[in-house]
């Protein structure tokens, strides 16, 4: 059957995910942390306890969403549209969560359908919620079923200079490291598969760009303290190619920040960015 707009409210089956210190270190390296970030990239540095990057939430959270209950679609035509995380506590260096997700919206965009999902992850050891994730996907060719188009509100950066700007040069082999955190889609590693998708070369994982952006926000707004990082939402607007240079611009208002990530050609690759911190 095609996409079912009545799927809104349906829940998936609970899913458990465990992780350890090595998983956290590998993720940090995958999003560009290095020698200046030993609290995230080592576990045995003197006077530097290991901690976890907040955006690691996208690796351990997000489970239990009911994609198998929303109707039929071609997974090859699925595009990750938006991603959000909310931290209810600092992520430990090892643990296990149980995630329960549900479909929160189905929108008809004509050329495709937008499906929104959210998931809450509970720390198995404590029984307390640890984090929440939100995501939307665009399913090409699945629109036209007569549903509502959905909200059109936009988050625009203020018309003034940003309060902080951070730069990051991605590596040509960055996707090969990031994929070891779980996303083995050959679009990010196999040149022949990338060409089938219309790209001259493998592209960066959108969630890798998200993690790079999240670390820039953490450094600039939280002094590198994960406990101060509370939430981050963003939309993927253009693929990033490995080796490109990124610029993250931040406009701060109290304990909230609007942000935007651009490549070296000044093309926006992440927009609609909003982050909350303490």
Residues with active-site annotation: 183, 188, 203, 206
* Cα–Cα distance list, 19 to 23, 49, 191, 201, 216 (Å): 6, 17, 30, 31, 24
**C-beta separation of 65 from 103 below 8 A:** yes
CB of 257 closer than 8 Å to CB of 234: no
Token couple for 75: 């997974």
Residues 267/189, Cβ–Cβ less than 8 Å: no
Residues 213, 234 contacting (CB under 8 angstroms): yes
Closest by Cα among 210, 184, 205, 182 to 54 = 210
| Rounded CA separation 132/123 (Å) | 11
Residues contacting residue 222 through CB under 8 Å, at least 6 positions apart: 228, 229, 277, 278
How open is the CA angle 268-186-41, to the nearest 5 degrees?
70
Residue closest to 231 by CA, chosen among 255, 253, 249, 209 = 255
CA dihedral defined by 68, 72, 75, 76, rounded to 10 degrees?
180
């Amino acid at each position: 059957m095609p996409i079912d707009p009545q799927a809104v409210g349906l829940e998936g089956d609970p899913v458990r995910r465990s992780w350890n210190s090595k998983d956290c270190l590998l993720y940090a390296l995958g999003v560009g942390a290095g020698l200046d970030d030993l609290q995230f990239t080592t576990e045995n540095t003197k006077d530097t306890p290991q901690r976890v990057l907040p955006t690691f939430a996208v690796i351990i959270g997000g489970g239990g969403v009911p994609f198998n209950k929303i109707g039929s679609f071609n997974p090859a035509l699925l595009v990750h549209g938006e991603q959000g995380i909310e931290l209810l506590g600092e992520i430990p260096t090892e643990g296990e969560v149980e995630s329960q997700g549900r479909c929160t919206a189905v929108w008809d965009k004509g050329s495709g359908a937008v499906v929104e999902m959210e998931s809450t992850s509970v720390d198995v050891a404590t029984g307390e919620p640890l984090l929440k994730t939100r995501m939307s996907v665009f399913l090409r060719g699945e629109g036209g079923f007569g549903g509502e188009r959905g909200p059109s509100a936009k988050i625009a950066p203020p018309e003034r200079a940003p309060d902080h700007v951070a730069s990051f040069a991605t590596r040509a082999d960055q996707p090969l490291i990031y994929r070891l955190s779980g996303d083995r889609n050959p679009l990010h590693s196999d040149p022949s598969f990338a060409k089938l998708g219309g790209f001259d070369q493998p592209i960066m994982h959108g969630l890798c760009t998200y993690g790079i952006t999240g670390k820039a926000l953490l450094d600039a707004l939280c002094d590198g303290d994960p406990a101060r990082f509370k939430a981050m939402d963003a939309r993927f607007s253009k693929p990033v190619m490995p080796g490109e240079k990124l610029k993250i611009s931040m406009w701060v208002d109290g304990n909230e920040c609007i942000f935007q990530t651009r490549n070296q050609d000044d093309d926006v690759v992440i927009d609609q960015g909003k982050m909350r911190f303490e």
